[in-house]
Amino acid sequence: MRYIFGITVLLCLLCLSTSGICQDEEPLAPEWLFDDEEEIANWGAPNQLMPLEFDEVKDKKDNIRTILLIVSTGSDPYIFPGGDWNGFVPDIGSFDGGEYDTIYVGIRVNVSCTWQIYYITEDDMAYAEAQRQDFQINASDNFEDLEFVMERGGWQDRVVKGFRLDPGTVAGVEAEIDYLSLRGIPEDLVPKALESGGKLAVTWGTIKDR
């Protein structure tokens, strides 16, 4: 009996001292670095888009970037990163919109256009105008690191269960996306976003709240 009791105590101590095994952890919001095509295997329900492609391109400093190429073929292009109309796939899961309230994207695009994020939450599982954020991405011949704070429709007060990316509202948008993240600029990509003076060169996107 004393032997069984001792084993039980030991297991309890191990559980208390081991992070993430016996205690629930807050799920991380998703991040895509586009280093491997498997990353987009669960991007679902594309509309008015050419098949997604991976490519290697150079920026103006001759850094080689592995990118996701998205090309629109109509005025209502969209795709669901990591899911479909029903939300994220199980291995991504939902996340706290208050903790992860900013979308970060490294991008080079040929056409200035309004992009959109539609999203669903535990409180409202419908993709609709009430849960939508518009933002402007301008054409550039070099990659820009953009940040968009999700302020419209209650994102910051809810648990986000999925979102839809609408890359523009016209045909002919060609977007080279280096990363798409809700965790910040990926650490290994920060040097590419630095100015010569050592300050982070982040171009803030213009948010359209309408």
Asked if pLDDT for residue 14 goes beyond 70, the answer is: no
Q: Which whole number is the average pLDDT over 20-32?
A: 68
* For range 83-110, the mean pLDDT: 96
- Return the CATH number at 73: 2.60.120.260
Is residue 139 a part of any domain in this protein? yes
State the pTM of this model.
0.80
Record the tokens describing residue 41, joined without a space.
Answer: 């295997």
pLDDT of residue 152: 93
Residue 8 domain-assigned?
A: no
93, pLDDT greater than 60: yes
134 within some domain: yes
pLDDT in tens, 191-200: 555 443 333 4
For residue 204, being part of any structural domain is answered with yes
List the domain range (segments joined by +) for residue 85. Answer: 26-208
Residue 190 confidence (pLDDT): 56
Per-residue pLDDT band at 16 (split at 50, 70, 90): very low
> Pick the residue with more confidence: 110 or 12?
110
Q: Looking at residue 206, what is its pLDDT?
A: 36
Quick one: pLDDT at residue 144?
95
Comparing 19-33, 107-121, 169-183, the range with the smallest average pLDDT is 19-33
pLDDT at 196: 32
Residue-averaged pLDDT of the chain: 84
pLDDT bracket for residue 26 (50, 70, 90): low
Query: Does residue 188 fall inside a structural domain?
Result: yes
Domain presence at residue 14: no
Is 168 a residue whose pLDDT tops 60?
yes
Assess if residue 1 is contained within a domain. Answer: no
Q: Considering its fold, how many domains does the chain have in total?
A: 1
CA 112 from centre of chain:
20
Is position 4 within any domain? no
Record the tokens describing residue 96, joined without a space.
């706290």
Give residue 210's pLDDT band: very low, low, confident or very high (50, 70, 90): very low
pLDDT at 187: 84
Virtual torsion, Cα 201, 175, 140, 55, nearest 10 deg: 80
Cross-strand bridge partners of residue 108: 176
